[in-house]
Structure 1
Amino acid sequence: MSKKQLFMVAAVLVFVLGACAGWFYFKGKAETPAPAAGPAGRELKQVVSVEQLQDKYDVIVVGTDPEGISAAVSAARNGAKTLLIENRQREILGGLMTVGWLNSIDMNWDRTSKPLPGQEQDYFNKGIFREWYKKTEGHSFDVTTAANAFYDLVSKESNIDLYMSAQDVKPIVSEGSAKAVEGITVTKADGSTQDILAKSVIDATQDADIAAAAGVEFTMGREDIGDPNSRMAVTAIFRLKNMDDKAWKLIADRLNGDGDSNTGVSKMSAWGYGKEMSGYLPLDNERTKMRGLNIGRQRDGTILINALHIFNIDGLDPESREEGLELARQEIPNVVEYLKQYKEFENAELDAIAPELYVRETRHMVGLYRLSIIDLLENRDQWDRIAFGSYPADIQRTSPSDDGAIVVHPMKYAVPFRSIVPQDVDGLLVVGRSASYDTLAHGSARVIPTGMAEGQAAGAAAKLAKEHGVTFREMAASKPLIEELQKRLNEQGMELEPYTLEPQPYMKHKNYAGLKAAVYMGLAYGSYGNQAFDLDRASNAQRMVNQMNGARRMFPKQLPGDPYTALKGVEEPAKKPLSLQQACLTIAEAAGLETTREQAINDLLNKSIITQATVDLVADPEQLTDGEAFMLLKDTIESLTDVQL
């Protein structure tokens, strides 16, 4: 064969291989091959616990969700004798992903780079997460594969003692000059108790139960934006059987043909059906609501569906969680009957409901640094970075009347080590969704890859703190120690280099400072790609009142008045252009000032509630834009509170 012929054959092979690999790409739209099915290679490995617990370990990790597995493996590989312990009566590793059946990973895709043709988009947070990820089918996986992959990571580490049978775990807390966690008290399977001491305890429970019991400070749900009784809906994931290759092809055909950029299908997952599910009428329309379907394919011919929102469930209360599961048991059979009207689901049968609810939000720790939504908005780096995020700040519904929101879609932000360190308790690190994030930032940072990166950092930090005889709070203040931690993590597969990104287009707008204020208070949403940040959109009188009411929710003492009073005599305020005079009257009413429509501007200026510089930015006093209204809002908040944005 000539060199020319060889070259042509090679070129054809490259093309074919690239085409075959293309269906792995996370935004795939083409018809997709079936996953390997059948029982071969799918047997669930039995998880074996140690028979005897030692009285002392270097590191104790509580919780066998992915973050805990990563923390334990990291600590063990760094030379620490480690106890990984579970108290939720689980039989397999992986927690939410394998017991709650959340089988699609919210990935931190690296949108600062472009993939090669046919290749998966690169992602942030490698290390132990990548080791596990490569053992699975990808960003949507078979739960048995995932559970076995987690166990494979743990069982290969001789430095890990795994104990799955604890009935209860409580922290041992010293009350000296500085409060510190010194170990745990375990109620074992036989009902006996044992005190186990450790140099470091890593709380990887979903709700930071150990930290809370140790007296660490938290906010609850959306408390930090003035809505303490509200939190995101929980979900019960359910499994359908009789979903064969033909049904999957029909799903792919529907989603590929509906023209919606937010729908799609890949080898193991599909997402869409928003229009179809909008017609579903819940049996209990005050407690449940369906959204579009997130579908995860399994290797045994079943599918998992993440779509049912359940409201007013306290994720910290076992009885409330059981109530959520009971609501799901009542609602989901009705959902399945509704789905049968579509040909792809006509043979579907309900197989089971996940044993654990998908609880999105409970506690938010108050750590040394509280990750804010502005960190995401500005794609900020941190000097003590231990993880990265880029997943959209996805705030799911908080009630049936709420549509949820994508607050911001960051390109890349860093999670600092300080965000896993409690403010006032030593000997303890908190990793996962209950770490130190504001509620809006938590919408992005709560995802599994970020938590596993935190877990890996926590495991390495525990060994480093012991070597240098320092507390975690002392380590968090030491740049040399943090640099050493980052060096070790990079050597162990992480990529934690500093970065600088070009400011996003919205950051270059003259009214960007106002947008920051609105985003900070949850009053402006960017949606996917931040396309909804339109600072030049014409505002209206009703919108200004709504925004001031949102600000009042967060700062009720500083804004004691009723902004609705400003709409007196205004017909159809949602269609009424927002004038500077009307905007200032709305602010004055919210602030509780006695003024008139004509005097409001001068009164606010005289009291320094708004600034002349902001007034001078207004291009047309008879028609303010959203950006100009946000600037007035910013002035108001900064003048009346101690918040500086």
Structure 2
Amino acid sequence: MRKKGKRLSVGLAVLALVALAAIYSVVQWNAGAKEPRNAASPTGNGGTADPGTVKPESKPEPKPEPKEPPPPTEQVDVVVIGSELEGLYLARAAADEGLKVKVLDPRAAFGGQVLQGEMLFLDETRDDQHRLLVQGRAKELFDGFRNGKIRKLKEFEQYFDKLAKDIPVEQGIQINGLELAPGSFGPQAINALVYTGKDGQKKRITSSYWVENTDFAALVGKLQVPRMPGLEAFYGQTNVEYMSSGMMMKFKNVDWAKFQSQFNATPADEKRTKYGWGSVDNSYAISLAGMTGKYKPSNDRVFLRGLNAVSQRDGEVIINAFLIYTVDPADDKSIADAMALGKKEIPLILEHFRKSLPGWEHAELNGFPNYLYIREYNHYETDYVLKPSDMLGARMFWDNVSIAGYPLDLQGTSANKWGIEMGRPDKYGMPLRSFLLKDYDNVIMAGKNVGSSAIAYGSARIQPNTSLAAESIGVILGQIQGKKKLREVKEADMPALHSYLASKYNIKLTGVTGNNKIAGWTADEIAKLDTGEIVYPQYILKRKK
């Protein structure tokens, strides 16, 4: 009986082990299976695979990604993207009118073209009678420049500090994304912007209005807005190219008094031979293109044109005359390459000045700017796009935000290194609509981003023109806050707003008339003027015959 019981126990144990092995096999297959059993099986016949023969590799279920907490949100009335001078006037005016304003700058350092590019030679705007057109806060800057009180970088920095006083500024931000919604007046509006700060922290900000105030469309470039034709259409180029960028040339140990006196004492014939047309007074040296034209650049991407030179006192001089072609302002490498070209070429130009100009015998380099002077980037369509005929025709608008002037000065490109002047307006108006990005409810275009054709941009781009416009828009934003939106402002609303600008800010935008230089022209002539088929300075001479 004992042997029989023992055999029975052993048999039962073997059966139990076999059953356990079968169960273990099935559990392991199911753990590694990627598809349910009624799916197409590894056998290829749609049946159930034998768990004893098919054992897919087991893989652990992926762990769910931890959810990133939403970034902290800040709410303001106006966000200005970039710290170029023109948009800062809008920020200052809006803040003074009681709005909550913030500046977010993608550049690492503050001040754009003026402070980082050290473009410290200011172009004034004047009419045909040489009357000053500069108005608003910009007048303090331009008056200070003209009378010699604001000439050095430190003096410009103090002016910028006053302009941005108590307005929060974040430098070196990176835009991560935009939250868009259907617009009330057009297809879209911006609700919020998500960005990473210089400290690496992600943040979110909401605003009623967004201001594009960079020289490379940091905000609008993310909206996929179509680019309008540029100068390449005028010059017949197949590739996109912008007006040349500038690199300001800085010198010290210049004897300006000697430069001025000896230049002006030179007999007229000798002066023309040595210097070409130009002038030198106690502050400025203009053109001398005969002298600059004798300089032979070491690289075909750079060029020395006529001088815009200003004495900064104490033997220091800064000059706007050195051009660099085919620069893409939105490409960091393109900027860096251009800066390297400039740092190589400017010492060679200094040697040419030492040999060619009295008072420059002991001149030395006075360092280099941190950045380029960017003249132009893409043009984007606004509610109204300014045309050359608006400018030469002295057109004024019911929604004027600036009274502007300046030649239609197209700086050189690689296709036309000297550039070309397309005409000299007396004065003209700039409408609010030329600063409102088309199809976006709440995007304002400041400074170089003004809505104009590539040819009209030659005049529109000048700082006093768009600085006054930006300040006027900032004031208007404060006045309509809580009542209506910018695109709800109608012709009937503007007299009160213009009156407020005149009484409180001494900005006169109405009752101004200019000399219409295309009076009597046909529609066909005007159309050709706007496309560039007619170059005004040449055509007007033929038309008079």
TM-score (norm 1): 0.66
Measured in 2, the distance between the counterparts of 1:87 and 1:195 equals 15
Deviation, 1:230, is 3.0
User: Bigger shift: 176-185 or 74-83?
Assistant: 176-185
Deviation, 1:170, is 5.4
CA offsets 1:384-404 (integer angstroms, 9 cap, x no match): 110122110101111265431
Q: Select which of 234, 240, 247 maps to 1:236.
A: 247
What is aligned with 1:319?
333
1:145 paired with 2:152, answer no
User: Percent identity at matched positions?
Assistant: 24
What is aligned with 1:488?
500
Larger radius of gyration: 2
What is aligned with 1:497?
510
Q: How does 1:465-614 map to 2 (within 5 A)?
A: 465-470=480-485, 472-475=486-489, 478-490=490-502, 491-504=504-517, 507-508=519-520, 515-527=525-537, 533-536=540-543
Measured in 1, the distance between the counterparts of 2:338 and 2:536 equals 31
Change (3 A) 1:299 1:171: farther
Measured in 2, the distance between the counterparts of 1:300 and 1:253 equals 21
What is aligned with 1:161?
168
Deviation, 1:110, is 3.0
One-letter code aligned to 2:153: V
One-letter code aligned to 1:96: Q
Contact map agreement 1:230 1:398 (CA 8 A) in 2? yes
Measured in 2, the distance between the counterparts of 1:256 and 1:134 equals 33
Measured in 1, the distance between the counterparts of 2:374 and 2:352 equals 25
1:62 paired with 2:81, answer yes
3-state secondary structure, aligned to 2:156:
helix
Change (3 A) 1:254 1:427: farther
Deviation, 1:162, is 2.8
3-state secondary structure, aligned to 2:168:
strand
One-letter code aligned to 2:250: R
Measured in 1, the distance between the counterparts of 2:176 and 2:151 equals 33
Measured in 1, the distance between the counterparts of 2:253 and 2:213 equals 36
Measured in 2, the distance between the counterparts of 1:254 and 1:522 equals 42
Q: Select which of 91, 95, 105 maps to 1:76.
A: 95
3-state secondary structure, aligned to 1:534:
helix
3-state secondary structure, aligned to 1:127:
coil
Q: Select which of 431, 449, 466 maps to 1:434.
A: 449
3-state secondary structure, aligned to 2:161:
helix
3-state secondary structure, aligned to 1:488:
helix
Deviation, 1:251, is 6.8
Measured in 2, the distance between the counterparts of 1:256 and 1:483 equals 56
Deviation, 1:134, is 4.1
Measured in 1, the distance between the counterparts of 2:332 and 2:345 equals 20
Contact map agreement 1:63 1:203 (CA 8 A) in 2? yes
What is aligned with 1:101?
118
Deviation, 1:366, is 0.1
Deviation, 1:344, is 2.5
Change (3 A) 1:368 1:224: farther
What is aligned with 1:306?
320
Contact map agreement 1:234 1:357 (CA 8 A) in 2? yes
CA offsets 1:531-552 (integer angstroms, 9 cap, x no match): 7621258xxxxxxxxxxxxxxx
Change (3 A) 1:192 1:372: same
Q: How does 1:378-417 map to 2 (within 5 A)?
A: 378-399=393-414, 401-417=416-432
Q: How does 1:126-525 map to 2 (within 5 A)?
A: 126-138=135-147, 141-155=151-165, 158=166, 160-163=167-170, 165-169=171-175, 172-176=178-182, 178-219=187-228, 221-222=230-231, 225=234, 227=237, 229-250=240-261, 252-253=263-264, 258=271, 263-284=278-299, 286-342=300-356, 343-399=358-414, 401-470=416-485, 472-475=486-489, 478-490=490-502, 491-504=504-517, 507-508=519-520, 515-525=525-535
CA offsets 1:281-340 (integer angstroms, 9 cap, x no match): 1111x2112111211222342111211221111122111111111111221121111222
Larger RCO (alpha carbons 8 Å, 6+ apart): 2
Measured in 1, the distance between the counterparts of 2:372 and 2:248 equals 7
Specify every segment of 5 or more residues in structure 2 that has no aligned partner in the other structure, as ranges.
1-71
Contact map agreement 1:136 1:149 (CA 8 A) in 2? no
One-letter code aligned to 1:390: G
One-letter code aligned to 2:397: Q
Contact map agreement 2:427 2:515 (CA 8 A) in 1? no
Q: Select which of 127, 133, 138 maps to 1:124.
A: 133
Contact map agreement 1:371 1:419 (CA 8 A) in 2? yes
Over aligned residues, Cα RMSD in angstroms?
A: 2.7
Contact map agreement 1:170 1:210 (CA 8 A) in 2? no
Measured in 2, the distance between the counterparts of 1:303 and 1:55 equals 44
Contact map agreement 1:394 1:444 (CA 8 A) in 2? yes
Contact map agreement 1:128 1:493 (CA 8 A) in 2? no
Change (3 A) 1:400 1:179: closer
Measured in 1, the distance between the counterparts of 2:312 and 2:388 equals 35
One-letter code aligned to 1:495: K
Measured in 1, the distance between the counterparts of 2:380 and 2:507 equals 25
Measured in 1, the distance between the counterparts of 2:348 and 2:523 equals 48
CA offsets 1:192-214 (integer angstroms, 9 cap, x no match): 11101111122211233212223
Change (3 A) 1:402 1:189: closer
Measured in 2, the distance between the counterparts of 1:392 and 1:357 equals 23
Contact map agreement 2:277 2:290 (CA 8 A) in 1? no
Measured in 2, the distance between the counterparts of 1:336 and 1:254 equals 23
Contact map agreement 1:181 1:427 (CA 8 A) in 2? yes
Deviation, 1:513, is 5.1
TM-score (norm 2): 0.78
Deviation, 1:54, is 7.5
What is aligned with 1:110?
127
Deviation, 1:98, is 2.1
Deviation, 1:341, is 1.1
One-letter code aligned to 1:106: D
CA offsets 1:172-230 (integer angstroms, 9 cap, x no match): 33233541122432321211111011111222112332122234343253256464523
3-state secondary structure, aligned to 1:392:
coil
Measured in 1, the distance between the counterparts of 2:83 and 2:314 equals 25
Measured in 2, the distance between the counterparts of 1:524 and 1:262 equals 26
One-letter code aligned to 2:511: P
Change (3 A) 1:97 1:104: same
One-letter code aligned to 2:431: P
Change (3 A) 1:220 1:501: closer
One-letter code aligned to 2:152: D
3-state secondary structure, aligned to 2:225:
coil
Specify every segment of 5 or more residues in structure 1 that has no aligned partner in the other structure, as ranges.
1-52, 113-120, 538-624, 626-645
What is the count of residue pairs matched by the alignment?
A: 462
Contact map agreement 2:230 2:453 (CA 8 A) in 1? no
What is aligned with 2:5?
none
Deviation, 1:457, is 2.1
User: Bigger shift: 136-145 or 210-219?
Assistant: 136-145
One-letter code aligned to 2:407: P
